[in-house]
A and B are shown apart, each in its own frame.
Chain A
Amino acid sequence: MGKVKCECGHVNPNGTILCESCGRALTEEARQEKLVDMRYEGSARRSQTYNKTIIDKVWNFFSSVKVGIWIIVLLLVAASFGTILPQEFYIPSNMPAETYYEDVYGTFGKLYYMIGFHDLYNSVWFSALIAALGVSLVIASLDRVIPLYRALKNQRVDRHESFMKKQRLFAEQSGTLNASELENVKAELIKKRYKVRMENGALLAEKNRFTRWGPYVNHVGLIIFLLGALLRSVPGMYIDELLWIREGETLQVPGTDGTYYVKNNGFTLENYEEGEDPEVFDEAINRVGTVAKNYQTDAVLYRDENNELPGAKPELTEVQSDAIQVNQPMKFDSFAIYQTSFRQDEMKAMHFALTNKATGEEYGEITVDLFDQQKSYELGNGYKVELLGYYPDFDGFTEAGEPTSKSPLPNNPAFLFNMVTPETPEGEVSFAQIRNTMEPLGETVYKMAFKSLDTRDVSALTIRKDLTLPILAIGGIIFMIGVVQGSYWNHRRLWIREKNGQVYVAGHTNKNWHGLKREIHAVLKETSIPEPEDRQKE
């Protein structure tokens, strides 16, 4: 049971249409056909034979090319839905997605969000579809390549005349084969790089069988590619982090578990200057104002030798120093640090002068670092300024009259100073902002006059590591090898045999029938062997 024994004696797997060995039709349907269906050599596609258990049913489902194509169509359609509105990743980060879509796109946006299209490419069902495609690729390929391999390996030289009769290229003639003539044909075929086998006076010439594996090689590449994409979500394989770093700051490099620190030694933005730079830029400068020439962060990379516990004081040793420019990242280990963005002129320090309100005389200037303040600033000669409070993002006073800050960022710095002078040894309180002073505790003799502002730039760096790239590249290369292998060669076969005073000639190729016909013509034209005719006019 489960086997089909052909008249020729070869035992074929159940479901075989054409005997693997001699090519006799094994099913009633195949016997009726005028031309045999040579797809997969008439071998038993395994999926079609057993359909008993759940495993078999699942197997058969994924084995179907029809199912595979439907999965691809569904994926394409689904992926296109994700392009109708911007994905969640691209909406402004300060807006909650729940309200953003409705606010901006109305009812349609609300619906879009509710269905989950706002994060389509990370959704379970989209991932499941891709997974189904992967499974379909594996199973459909296995289910075809193994029987095809078997059939091509087991094929006999002297195929049954019924097989030959049903080939698209076929001729028969009464007569016998001349042995020396056949030898000549063989030599000609070998010259055309055919592999020729002879048995019982029959001849089989075959070339480029490897091209039949093209699609399967291609699928292997695709599966490797999918595996590479899958590996991205494995911790440690793929890192993509953003780091905002101010000039002068030394910060941990995210994604390196605290092993590395980076210092920003300065950010530079250069523009093309009219007249100084090549003339080709002049027109653009006139049209748009400025044209950027260079975005650069001078960075130093350090390794932390004391990285056992979070919070431990880092002990930094310099690893390398480099100018990070757009498309010229700093590279170390498998990481690369890219220049991504910048913000210019963030407030860094403020200068105030202790000033007599009446005379305008100044008694010295203090510099308050917005990131590291002092408790008091000595000016000498009995003059001193004490800092009572610092409000980096001042936004008003509480009911109790206490100044408040709405964030730790120095967006709107304000200070509560106590000014101590020989005249006012107890001190006078002044509330100072940029270009504004207040006297919350009553009229004062002195004031803290705002003088100037120090600013610095902030650079945004992207830290990226991708260990899946080589896998994706290998997958892609194998994919292309498969495409080339399957596309640029044709699997050609020619059968010649004599039986009961009849000479049979048949030819088959998987594509480019014209090429095969020309080759056969060249080989057979000088002989008495009939040239096979194409019975299926295109």
Chain B
Amino acid sequence: MDKKKKRLFMRSAILAVLAGLVVYALYTNLTKESRGSLEAGDKAPDFVLTDVNGETHQLSDYEGKGVFLNFWGTWCEPCKEEMPHMEKLANEFKGEVEILAVNVGESNFQVTNFAEQYGLTFPIAIDEGKEVMDTYGVDPLPTTFMIKPDGTIDQIVIGGLIEEEQVRALFERVKPSS
């Protein structure tokens, strides 16, 4: 009788180990694609970039404020459309929500020319090695990460923000509560 129990125990143990391996294999295989990509609720990875005026911006320095982290390119039409809204609201929410616009590695001339043309005053940095872009897994442009004062991601917006009200709603959500 005792031996039978032992056998059952052994079999269960071996099957459990095998089942564990199989589940792990299937899990890693299925999540291969999405592994490493960010989701709402994740902590926004820290980074440091120098803007076109030579100032350094480290994301963790913005703790306590909301951050509108925008990835853009000069050729991208929807990026052009949302810039004026961003400029307007950056001034409106000054001190509460900050904009960090990350250009995806174009030349200094193109970026400064664009900023002048659209009269942009918020900090714009060029991600030369596309390191920050890779860290955030950005593919289509524009992509905007709304980061809460505690440093977690509130929302990821892929595509252009055409209406000013859309942008305002995003700003309101990450505004520090006080």
Q: B-contacting residues of A (Cβ < 8 Å)?
A: 1-2, 46, 50, 53, 55-56, 58-59, 122, 124, 127-128, 131, 134-135, 138-139, 142, 227, 230, 233-235, 251-252, 258, 309-314, 371-375, 387-393, 404-408
Partner of A127, one of B29, B73, B113, B125: B29
A131 touches B25 (CB 8 A): yes
Q: Mark B71-111, 1 if CB is under 8 A from A, else 0.
A: 00111010000000000000000000000000011111110
B15 touches A58 (CB 8 A): yes
Give the residues from 22 to 57 in chain B that come closer than 8 angstroms, CB to CB, to chain A.
22, 24-26, 28-30, 32, 35, 45-50
> Among B8, B104, B125, which residue has its beta carbon within 8 angstroms of that of A53?
B8
Main secondary structure of the interface of B (DSSP, over half): helix
Q: A134 to B105, alpha carbons, bound, how many Å?
A: 48
> Which of A56, A139, A371 is within 8 Å of B14, CB to CB?
A139
Bound complex: CA of A181 vs CA of B106, how far in Å?
97
* Interface residues, chain B, with chain A CB atoms under 8 Å away: 1, 3-4, 7-8, 11-12, 14-15, 18, 21-22, 24-26, 28-30, 32, 35, 45-50, 58, 73-75, 77, 104-110, 113, 125, 127, 129, 131-132, 134-135
What B residues does A122 contact at CB under 8 A?
29, 32
12 A/B residue pairs, CB under 8 Å, sorted by A: A55-B15, A58-B15, A59-B11, A59-B15, A131-B21, A131-B22, A230-B21, A234-B28, A311-B131, A372-B108, A393-B75, A404-B75
Q: Which residues of B contact A404 (CB under 8 A)?
A: 75, 77
Knowing A127-B25, A131-B26, say if A408 contacts B73 (CB, 8 Å): yes
By a CB distance below 8 angstroms, the chain B residues around A387 are 109
Complex interface: chain A residues within 8 A of B110 (CB): 373, 390
Decide yes or no: A309 and B47 within 8 Å by CB, A392-B75, A408-B73 being known contacts. Answer: yes
> Cα distance A50–B10 when bound, in Å?
13
Q: Once the chains are docked, how many angstroms separate the CA of A393 from the CA of B75?
A: 9
Query: Which residues in A have their C-beta under 8 angstroms from that of B131?
Result: 252, 258, 310-311
Inter-chain contact B106/A408, CB cutoff 8 Å: yes
- Contact present for A127 and B26 (CB under 8 Å): yes
User: Given the complex, which residues of A lie within 8 Å of B129, measured CB to CB?
Assistant: 251-252, 311, 314
Q: Are the CB atoms of A373 and B8 closer together than 8 Å?
A: no
Q: What residues of B have a CB within 8 angstroms of the CB of A391 in the complex?
A: 75
* Docked complex Cα distance between A374 and B15 (Å): 68
Given contacts A135-B18, A252-B129, contact A373 B109 (CB under 8 A): yes
Tell me the complex Cα distance, A314–B15, Å: 50
**Residue of A373, A404, A408 with most partner-chain B CB within 10 A:** A408
Pick the 8 closest A-B CB pairs, nearest first: A233-B28, A373-B109, A131-B22, A405-B75, A310-B131, A311-B47, A310-B47, A311-B49
B106 contacts across to A, CB distance below 8 A: 408
- Pairwise interchain contact A46-B7, C-beta atoms closer than 8 A: yes
Q: Please give 17 more A-B residue pairs, beta carbons under 8 A apart, in addition to A127-B26, A310-B46, A388-B113.
A: A55-B11, A55-B12, A138-B14, A138-B18, A139-B14, A142-B14, A230-B24, A233-B29, A252-B129, A309-B48, A310-B132, A311-B47, A371-B107, A373-B109, A387-B109, A389-B113, A404-B77
- Flag if A2 contacts B3 (CB, 8 Å): yes
Q: CA–CA, A272 to B99, complex, Å?
A: 57
Q: Which residues of A contact B7 (CB under 8 A)?
A: 46, 50
Q: Which of B14, B58, B74, B127 contacts A309 (CB 8 A)?
A: B58
Alpha-carbon separation in the docked complex, A133 to B138 (Å):
39
Q: How long is the Cα–Cα vector from A53 to B45 in the complex, in angstroms?
A: 50
Contact B107 A372 (CB under 8 A): yes
The verdict on A312 contacting B48 (CB below 8 Å), with A59-B15, A405-B74 known, is yes
In the bound complex, what is the Cα–Cα distance between A392 and B15 (angstroms)?
60
CB-CB under 8 A from A389, the residues of chain B are 113
**Closest residue of chain B to A369, judged by CB?**
B107
A56, B75: Cβ atoms closer than 8 Å: no
CB contacts (< 8 Å) of A142 on chain B: these are: 14
Among A1, A56, A135, A392, contact of B11 (Cβ-Cβ < 8 Å): A56
B1: chain A residues within 8 A (beta carbon)? 1-2
Residue of A nearest to B23 (CB): A131
Query: What is the chain B residue whose CB lies nearest that of A63?
Result: B11
CA distance A310 to B132 in the complex (A): 6
A131 to B132, CA, bound (A): 38
B26 to chain A: which residues have CB within 8 Å? Answer: 124, 127-128, 131
Name the one of A58, A371, A408 contacting B104, with C-beta atoms under 8 angstroms. A408
Residues of B with C-beta under 8 A to A392: 75
Chain B residues positioned under 8 Å from A58 (CB to CB): 15
CB distance from A49 to the nearest CB of B (A): 9
Q: How far is the CA of A352 from the CA of B39 in the complex (A)?
A: 48
Chain A residue at minimal CB-CB distance from B127: A311
Across the two chains, which residue of chain B brings its CB closest to A312?
B48
Q: List B contacts of A390 (CB < 8 A).
A: 107, 109-110, 113
Q: Tell me how far the C-beta of B151 lies from the nearest C-beta in chain A, rounded to whole angstroms.
A: 14
> Within the complex, what minimum Cβ distance (angstroms) separates B54 from chain A?
12
A311 touches B48 (CB 8 A): yes
Distance in Å: Cβ of B112 to nearest Cβ of chain A: 8
Task: Name the CB-closest residue of A to B24.
Answer: A230
Chain A nearest CB: distance from B50 CB in Å? 7
Complex Cα distance, B9 from A31, in Å, reads 34
